[in-house]
Every structure is written in C-alpha cells, then in structure tokens.
Structure 1
C-alpha cells in the first residue's frame, strides 16, 4: 500500500511539474501562393532584345581583347553555389521558396515536366514555357525587398557582359516592361541571367568587369513582368543563346546530362524559414503593398501573443515539433503539429497568454531545421542596454517629432507606453532611422528602444507634452 501511495504521488508530481502538453487550440494560417496568375517573366520580344544586346556587348569586348571567355581560360562548365543569400540584417532562418523550375515539355498549355518528372513549373496559353528557376522571397517578400534582406549573388565567377537598371520594381502583373538584371558569362562561355532585381540595387561594376563566386549582384525585387519579389535564374550554354541549361540533374532533364550545382538541393526541400512572435496576425495586403508583419518581441503579462511559424515545401503527412519554453527552460507546451497538404510555402499561428515574467523561447523543428526565437514578457525596462552610449533622442520632452542622434546606424525603433504596450515599431535597414513622427501619441510617458545594425540596443524614457 505504501508503494502504491508513493507511486501515485510521483505520478502527480510529474504530471504537474514535469509534463508539457499540446494546447487545446486549432492553428490559423495556411498556404502562401506565389505567382498564381502564372505570368511569363519575359516576352519573346524582350528575350530577343536581351540576346541581341548580349551578343553585341560580347563582340565589342572581344574586339577589345577583353572577353575572358574567348581566351580559353577554363575547361568544363561551372559549378554553381546558391544564387541567393540572406543579408546580415535579416532575422529569418531562410528567405526563399521555389515556385517553378525549368519546363522541359515544349507543349502548352498545362503541359508541364520539370527535371524531376514532376509538374513544378508553368507555361501559358500563348506558348511561353518557363525557362528558368523562380525563387520567391518568404516570408514577407515586400518587407525584405524594402529592407534589402534578400541578396542576389554570383553563382559562379565570371564577367559582366550586360546589366540593366532603372526600371520600376514593384510590378504585380504582366506589363510588357523589361526587368532590372545582370548577365554574367563564365569562363566556358556559358551565361547566367539574374532577373527582376530591385531598382538601384545592382552591383556598381561595369560591363567587362569580373565578379567572384558569391559576390553581391543586387537585391531581389519585382521589376519587369512579375507578380512579386523573386529571382529568375536562367542559364545558357553559350553566346548563341539557343541551348538552355537546367542546373538540376534529373531523369527528365533533356537539356544537360549532369548537375551544374556544387551541391544540388533536393527537389522538395522542407524547412523552417522563420519562427516569430506577433502582437497581431500579420497582414498580407494586395500586391505591391508592403506586408504589416506586426512582429513583436516585448509583451505584457497576460497579453495575447501570436506565435507563428513560416515553412517552405510543406509535405502532407509530416509534422512540425513545436515548443513554448518558460524562462526556466522547462516546456509549457511541446507538441507535434500535423501537416495535411503539400504547399510550397505556408504559415501557421497560435495565440497564448503568459503569466511568468522573463525571457521565453518559441521553437519549431521541421525538415532538419530547428529554429528558436526568444522574446520577453514583463517590464521592458528590465532589458539591459548594449553600448549605444553616444545615442540620444531630441527633444525630450517632445511635442510631435523626435530626432535620433547617434554615431551608430539605428535600424530598429520601438516605442511602448508605460504598460509595455507597443505603440510604434519601425525597421529600416538600408538607410537607417534618423527621426520619428509621434504626433499621434497622447501626452504622457513612453519608452523607446533603439537597435543598431550591430544589434546594439538602448532604452530611453520619453515624455510627450
């Protein structure tokens, strides 16, 4: 009998203190669809014009004895690294999804065969068959474009043989406009096209200059015929531009026999792009309006917190392990969220209130990725500053506007009231933040938290009169 009582007490202890459970709550969210209209990236006329420009530039460089590919400096084709890189300022784990591979089936419409014998590509009624790889930015592609978070880099070393900039970069449809792009010829004569770049973001090097593998080329944008920020990556074997290359090796690749990647990524490559906390659900407005992400890392006790995950290549029949971790590193919740559909990109959200002050963690594991996001519950003034000693806000007290005076580049500013509720949150990675418009705030005491591009922080009390 004594053994049974002890056993029951131990069981109660573990149930009460050592056991975390699934929340009794359904997820909100679902699929994110990119390029639902299946717009061609280039018209036939635009493609022909690009080819003529490239051939003309190559001829000029050759006559000047400056065309490196003509000097037989390399044998065999290049092996590519991935042409996208997240900027150091980005807080996301990954920044892209793939909406379409090269279409190997010349018939149309809806006659699709990608390198893996699947249908992850597109064509149109007019006869366009997709001739490149489309890598869309996810999550929050417009926000990432505004803040220069998704960088296009040279997949292989080579020579710039053409570039075009100055075009509108917030396209949402098929509009017959040309894209902003850079074209790089490799030592074997093959040429890579990098299209849809952000206006004004292109590498400042000139035609004829060399670029190294991994060198910055530009920012992912939505110039030309486009329905949102993405990179169109297209490759040809030589300057006749008659033979496409599909960099992926696969049984249905009828263009080339081997892979052109240094390390070929899987056809379906599930993973976690971001794990975030929000004070409200993110808003995905109509193209081309920047998303309202409502990202927040500072919350009041018992405030409703929106916990979200952002996935790429979601696979039906798999599950995501999710953990909500207390400040003492024990689990409040630890559960598996089952996925029932195949989506190139998806997001899912749960809402909880927390009554323990301190630094919490929100964690997701999927597709080999484990991503942990830290956030704070309780008094924002308890967070220590990290060396922005020369940073100040003027005037203080203020009436409508304040100036941020700093020897550092301030990229984030968050204003909370005395209860810790966020009333303003701004991020500006490319140019930094020099001033804030606070005219809509009521008179009273506020706290502003500033963050530099080096993750340095400072918290300042503000008084509005």
Structure 2
C-alpha cells in the first residue's frame, strides 16, 4: 500500500494567486505526491491473513465465543470515520485521503474509483487497490511518535484476529515484514481490516473480545509495505473473503449499491488541518525521521515568527484568507490567495517580525471554516528558568487544574485568546497557589500567566474542554 512523503517547496513560484495590492511573500508547496504504488500485502501475506482469520473464527465458534451467527445475522454496519485526533491536540484535523478502492480490474494504470475518478492505484502484478488509505497530516512521523492520530472502531464488532510486534517505520516497498493490524467482524458477518498500525499501540483486548463503535484500536503507523504513516481500511462482505466492499456509494462503485458510512464524506473534502506558529522554518526531514517542527506559542518582542497553515484537498480555484492580528486589532497581514493547482495536502508559510506585546491571533479561513491560533509576545512570553519544571494538570481540563512546582506560586492571571484578563488568583497561604477553580470559564483556549514569590514567571497555554 502506498503513501510516499514528497515535499515540493516551491520558492518564488507557489501556484497561488495573491489577491491584494500590497506585497505578501508566501512560500510552501505540496505534501503527499506519489509517483508509484505497490500492494500493501503481497499475495502470500494476504492468503496467510485470510487463513488466520478463518482459523480463528472456527476456533471461536468451537468454543462458543463467536459473536456472529447466520441465524442472527444483522444488517450491514454504518461506519463512523476510523481516525481521530487524540484528546487535547490543538490541530484542527490530523488526516487526508490518498487512495480509494480501485474498481477497474484491468492493470496497470487503469484507474477507477467509486466516483469515476482516478484517486486510487493498481500495479503491474495485477493488484487493484482494495481499501481506503487515510494518511496523517501534518507531521506524520511526529504524530506517530506522539500517538496523535488514533485508529478507532468504525463499527461495533468482535476482534477475530490481531497482529503486533512488527517494524513500524517502513519507508519503501521492498520490505517483506508483515503489518500490524486488527480485524473486526460485525453482526452481519462483514470484516474490517485496520492495517499499518504502530508497533505496540494495539488495544490490549484479546481475540474474542468485543469493541463498541468509536473504541480505541491503535495508532496510525507505517508497518508492512508502506512509505509513511497511514491507515489502510479494507472491508469484506463475509468470512469467505471473496466479495470486497467499498464503503462509498457512487456511480462507479461496482461492488455494492449503498453507502456503508453513517455519514459519507465528500469525494473531495477540503479543510484546514492546522494553523500553527513556529520559531523557525519546519524541517520535514527524510523518512523515517520525525519532523523538526519548531512549534512555538511564545515570542519575545521583535522576534521573527513563522506562520504556517496546513490544508487538505486544496483544489484549483479555491481561495483562502490569512490574517495575523495584533493585540490592538490591527493587521500585520491580511491577504487572500487562490490556488491554481490541486493538492491532497499542502502547506503555506509567511515570516514576520512581531512588533507588539500581548496576545496575538494567527487566523486562516478556507471553505467557510475559520481556525484561530493564539500566541503571546513580550511579557507573556517569559519562561523563567526557575519555573522550567513547573507543570499544570490535567490539560485539557474540565473544571479545576493543579499546579506542580517546587517554587511558591504568588499569583496566576488567566487570559482568554483575545488577551483579556478574565480571572486573577493570589496567594492566600504560605504554601502558595496549588489549585485553580476554572469552572466558570467557557470552553476554549486560555493562557495562564504564573508568577512566583521572587518574580519568576511562566506562561502556559490551557485548553478547557
């Protein structure tokens, strides 16, 4: 299965049209271009999996533990999306799609997805892509290392097999190492395959255990034949593994006539995956090294800051707007851009000197969606050496947070994302401030400006869920 990381940094020729009179430099490019593909499982591996699945099902049945039965066969499941961001991750989204199921049995280079497009692949050996490829974006390797993209059960069912312990940082098609995967049978007998998982991340549940819809299964990885972290989601109609299912309904789906999604996503699904600030340019590094992202929400006055947006399914003629908003409401940047290319995943960035103290906003609007990222400049950017070990928990929080610090905390000021002070806590005992009741705050992003008895200072971003 395929997913090659390809970063095309298009300096001075960005394939975007700037819709404003003032000069506004922009750099960036495409992420996720794939010049060739290969099957994620060779035929021998696939047959071994099918044999294992049949054997495990027979064993569960002989033990009276197989949940599926012909007598009580249910209707086909309606899937939820099988990838979600972990709780507390500030990215707006963590995925994009690289490939759908191929419905043209001719090969090679005879491509036909469910929507009559060519967002799929086949190989010269006769393999037609049999699943949905969902890759992580932005920062696939960092996401994998930090467990940011979780694979969840698209439907309730029973684990009938699982495979773990295999190498998970594959970068090419030459490996013969199997993938890490979990296989779930549903009440109608259909079976979903979740492949390429991170080593050691699979649920601790055993074969024979049941899962509910949305339950954690593992982390998106790059095990098996793979060139980057992604989930291969493959569905079979029953335990004979002779009839493939494409969950998407469309004019060129030759396998099934109805959608298996609870809410089918559009074929092209443009969106904002992240709006981030950085202290230096991002280094995407070579596979399989984790990206050096240089993410930062705190800057000193007159620092150079780097402003990035990360988009999925950017299409020709689509427009996005970006704004860098000072604490006083004035704009350091306000510009519209129109794409002259199609991108499955893209990134664009600007560098600017931040020239005013306070809480800033970095904002992007695309396809009717606006994402705001707040960051601080100046006094609120101080991270005192004496408070480097200070931490707050839980974060994200619901009502209260605790402060873990060897330094006595004198005061804590809570600012909202606009820079307005909303709550002030002051020391009332020799032990200092150890707990904050923030139950009156609405959901959203806040900054805690924490000061010690000797004027030490640290700012921590908080997220109320």
Deviates more, 1:65-74 or 1:188-197: 65-74
Secondary structure of the corresponding residue to residue 48 of structure 2: helix
Residue by residue over 1:44-88, the C-alpha shift from the partner in whole angstroms, topping out at 9 and shown as x without a partner, is: 111110000000001111112211111644532000000011001
Query: C-alpha separation between the residues in 2 aligned to 1:215 and 1:266?
Result: 24
Given the alignment of the two structures, is residue 288 of structure 1 paired with residue 302 of structure 2, yes or no? Answer: no
Query: C-alpha separation between the residues in 2 aligned to 1:208 and 1:450?
Result: 48
Q: How many residues align?
A: 385
**Could you tell me which residue of structure 1 aligns to residue 61 of structure 2?**
62
**Could you tell me which residue of structure 2 aligns to residue 26 of structure 1?**
25
Shift of 1:367: 2.2
Bigger radius of gyration: 1
Secondary structure of the corresponding residue to residue 382 of structure 2: helix
Is the alpha carbon distance of 1:86 and 1:130 closer, same or farther for their aligned partners in structure 2, counting shifts above 3 Å? Answer: same
For normalisation by structure 2, the TM-score amounts to 0.79
Query: C-alpha separation between the residues in 1 aligned to 2:364 and 2:21?
Result: 14
Residue by residue over 1:278-326, the C-alpha shift from the partner in whole angstroms, topping out at 9 and shown as x without a partner, is: 1111111111000000111111222111111000000111110111111
Query: C-alpha separation between the residues in 1 aligned to 2:160 and 2:169?
Result: 26
Given the alignment of the two structures, is residue 236 of structure 1 paired with residue 236 of structure 2, yes or no? Answer: yes
**Could you tell me which residue of structure 2 aligns to residue 411 of structure 1?**
none
The 5-angstrom pairing of residues 409-424 of structure 1 reads: none
Shift of 1:125: 1.7
**Could you tell me which residue of structure 2 aligns to residue 217 of structure 1?**
217
Shift of 1:334: 2.2
Query: C-alpha separation between the residues in 2 aligned to 1:290 and 1:366?
Result: 28
For normalisation by structure 1, the TM-score amounts to 0.79
The 8 Å contact of residues 39 and 227 in structure 1, kept in 2 or not, is answered as: no
Shift of 1:265: 0.1
Secondary structure of the corresponding residue to residue 51 of structure 1: helix
Secondary structure of the corresponding residue to residue 70 of structure 1: coil
Deviates more, 1:60-69 or 1:42-51: 60-69
Query: C-alpha separation between the residues in 2 aligned to 1:388 and 1:209?
Result: 37
**Could you tell me which residue of structure 2 aligns to residue 46 of structure 1?**
45
Is the alpha carbon distance of 1:364 and 1:188 closer, same or farther for their aligned partners in structure 2, counting shifts above 3 Å? Answer: same
Query: C-alpha separation between the residues in 2 aligned to 1:23 and 1:160?
Result: 58
Shift of 1:34: 5.1
Shift of 1:124: 1.4
Query: C-alpha separation between the residues in 2 aligned to 1:262 and 1:34?
Result: 30
Mark the runs of 5 or more structure 2 residues left unpaired by the alignment: 1-19, 393-400, 408-433, 436-455
Secondary structure of the corresponding residue to residue 96 of structure 2: strand
Mark the runs of 5 or more structure 1 residues left unpaired by the alignment: 1-20, 394-406, 409-446, 457-465
The 8 Å contact of residues 72 and 188 in structure 1, kept in 2 or not, is answered as: no
Query: C-alpha separation between the residues in 2 aligned to 1:388 and 1:23?
Result: 47
Structure 1 ranges of 4+ moved more than 6 A: 382-386
Given the alignment of the two structures, is residue 136 of structure 1 paired with residue 158 of structure 2, yes or no? Answer: no
The 8 Å contact of residues 73 and 189 in structure 2, kept in 1 or not, is answered as: no
Is the alpha carbon distance of 1:331 and 1:74 closer, same or farther for their aligned partners in structure 2, counting shifts above 3 Å? Answer: farther
Secondary structure of the corresponding residue to residue 50 of structure 1: helix
Secondary structure of the corresponding residue to residue 194 of structure 1: strand
The 8 Å contact of residues 85 and 150 in structure 1, kept in 2 or not, is answered as: yes
**Could you tell me which residue of structure 2 aligns to residue 367 of structure 1?**
367
